[in-house]
Amino acid sequence: MSTPAPQPPPAPVYQPAPPTNTLAIVSLVLAFLCGPAGFVTGIIALRQTKRTGEGGSGLAIAGIVLGAVQLVALLLVLVVFALGAVVTDQFGTTCSEIRSDGSASSVRSCS
Q: What is the pLDDT of residue 75?
A: 94
41 lies in a domain? yes
Tell whether 110 is covered by a domain.
Answer: no
In a domain, 82, yes or no: yes
Whether 60 maps to a domain, the answer reads: yes
- For the segment 8-34, the average pLDDT, to the nearest whole number, is 92
* Tens of pLDDT, residues 31-50: 999 999 999 999 999 999 99
- Residue 51, in any domain of the structure: yes
Domains in the chain: how many in total? 1
Residues sharing a CB contact under 8 Å with residue 99, sequence separation 6 or more, in sequence order: 106, 108
β-sheet bridge partners, residue 55: 20
pLDDT higher than threshold 80 for residue 108: no
Range of the domain at 34: 22-93
71 is a domain residue: yes
SS3 55: strand
Q: What is the pTM (predicted TM-score) of this model?
A: 0.66
Chain segment 49-98, per-residue pLDDT in tens: 999 999 999 999 999 999 999 999 999 999 998 888 777 765 555 545 55
Question: Please, which pLDDT band fits residue 111 given cuts at 50, 70 and 90?
Answer: very low
Q: Measured between alpha carbons, how far is 19 from 54 in angstroms, rounded to an integer? A: 6
Q: Residue 39 domain-assigned?
A: yes
* Residue 35 in domain: yes
